[in-house]
Amino acid sequence: MEAAVERGDFRWQQSLGYDDNLVVSDTAIQVEDLVKSYGPVQALRGVSFEVCEGEVFGLLGPNGAGKTTTVEILEGLRTADTGRVTVCGLDPHRSGAEYQHLFGAALQSTALPDKLRVDEALALFSSFYPKRRDTAELVRRFGLEEKRRAYYSQLSGGQKQRLALALALVNEPRVVFLDEPTAGLDPQVRREIYDIIEELRQEKKTILLTTHYIEEAERLCDRVAIIDHGKVIALGTPRELKERSAGTTRIQVRLAQPAHDGALERLEGVADCRQFEDSYVLHSRRPPQTIVALVKHLEAEGNELQSLEIATPTLEDVFIELTGRRLRD
């Protein structure tokens, strides 16, 4: 993998299994030192990142981290206290209709009138733009043919989300903002949304999505900014970020009784140990030796092993190492 990041000349070669020959050189989104407060609460504390043309870029973090505030500033829905943003060279707050025609967005929560039909919603949103997609094609693409004449109130949660994505594309946008696009959806519908986002990738759309799902960021995103308490704490490809835990294996155990005095941290091979409710997460450089040492320690302490899971590190492990807590805490 090759990667080069330079201010003003952002170059990145992708080699994550999507297209090893894809080279993207233009910056579509630039965010510099965003600060935003709501009264005493500082939602953003100097957020900075860049997104390339045709890239799927993820803001990954827990609820309240500042993801939605960042996206709403980019959409022109909120104004930053300080900092600068541009999308395709335009300022969201100064470019008026030109900017509104440039992007599409699916907000975290979409609410339409209950008695608005699916095809009516698409026709209405399409009428707002001089450049528009064929709404009948969007209905087919998003699997809404049978619901074309259904009222919004008659749609399931997954159908409402597919409609929200279709509405985000009626103006053939260059940039698409997706705020928690699969939140609250069941696994089957979530996979359907993933397929749609993959299709948009093939169309070379620039996509900025927010998520708190680890598997979503790893599957969909070319690069990820991990954000917490209003700050970007790590940025890179999923592979690059997971290399922070390179050389270690994740071992999660549940014990019959709590471990005392940091004993698990001192087991052979353990590089890091954290407790979360009724389980312990250990990162080990020598998993076989760690497991043997763990069993011997438990026998000596009269404790019992209730469960043990072994896995390669994930983006959540990176988050744990950086913050000391789980992504969804």
In the chain the first and final C-alpha atoms are separated, in Å, by 33
Using H for helix, E for strand and C for coil, what is the string for 87-121? ECCECCCCCHHHHHCCEEEECCCCCCCCCCEHHHH
Q: Which helix (H) or strand (E) holds 189?
A: helix 187-202
12-60: pLDDT as tens digits: 333 333 344 334 448 999 999 999 999 999 999 999 999 999 999 999 9
Half-sphere exposure of 86 (CA within 13 A, CB side): 10
Tokens, residue 327: 């992504």
**Among the listed ranges 50-54, 84-88, 182-186, which one has the minimum average pLDDT value?**
182-186
Whole-number pLDDT of residue 2: 34
Q: What is the pTM of this model?
A: 0.81
Which of 269, 246, 255 lies closest to 301 in space, CA to CA?
255
Q: Which residues contact 274 (CB under 8 A, 6 or more apart)?
A: 280, 281, 320, 324
Strand order in the sheet with 11-13: 3-4, 11-13, 23-24
Strand order in the sheet with 56-60: 103-106, 175-179, 206-211, 56-60, 223-228, 231-236
Per-residue confidence at 329, pLDDT binned at 50, 70, 90?
Answer: low
104-119: pLDDT as tens digits: 999 888 889 999 999 9
Instruction: Report d(CA 282, CA 271) in Å as an integer.
Output: 7
pLDDT mean over 176-187: 91
Tokens, residue 246: 């390179």
Per-residue confidence at 277, pLDDT binned at 50, 70, 90?
Answer: confident
Tokens, residue 3: 């990667």
Signed CA dihedral, 163, 168, 170, 174: sign only: negative
Q: What is the amino acid identity at position 141?
A: R
- Residue ranges and CATH numbers for the domains of the chain are 3-243 (3.40.50.300), 247-312 (3.30.70.980)
